Amino acid sequence: MGGWVRLVAKPYRMRKKLTTGEEREYIGYRIILPRRLVETLGLEGEAPLVARLEVAEWYHILDWTVPENRALWRRLPEKARLDLCSKKLAPEDLCTHTETLTVLAKPEDLQSLGLDPSRPVTLEDLVEAVRRKMQAELQVQSPSP
């Protein structure tokens, strides 16, 4: 079961008795794993898991196999379509124009180019950011008369 699994974090209240005798209430969050995922991973009892959690945008939540939702596809901004395709949240037939490739980069390197490392980066974004940085460096090296 590769790819993404949609999970929901649900808040719950918990009470904790302090050593002073006072009681405090805290909000915690629970994520329930779907049975299919648990069976696929072969989880029994306690098991360490590695997960990357991310807050979903509204377009991540839609089922893109539903015809009514597919009609929205053309109206989504290009960045949103690329985001859905990169996360394998859209059907392959909607993502025929893209392929996700991994480019390893330190977040601070992307930030130094003016890019947001938490967002998908297109090749065009990367080329444009490098072009801007090169132009800025050239202007610093050759002062105007």
Tens digits of per-residue pLDDT, 9-58?
A: 899 998 888 889 899 999 998 888 888 888 888 888 788 887 777 788 89
62 and 94 Cβ atoms separated by less than 8 Å = no
- The C-alpha angle with vertex 127 and arms to 106 and 91, in degrees rounded to 5, equals 80
Of 73-77, 96-100, 113-117, which gets the smallest average pLDDT? 96-100
The whole-angstrom separation of Cα 36 and Cα 34 is: 5
Q: How many Cα atoms occupy the beta-carbon half-sphere of 82 within 13 Å?
A: 12
What is each CA distance from 98 to 61, 87, 94, 123, in whole angstroms?
21, 12, 9, 11
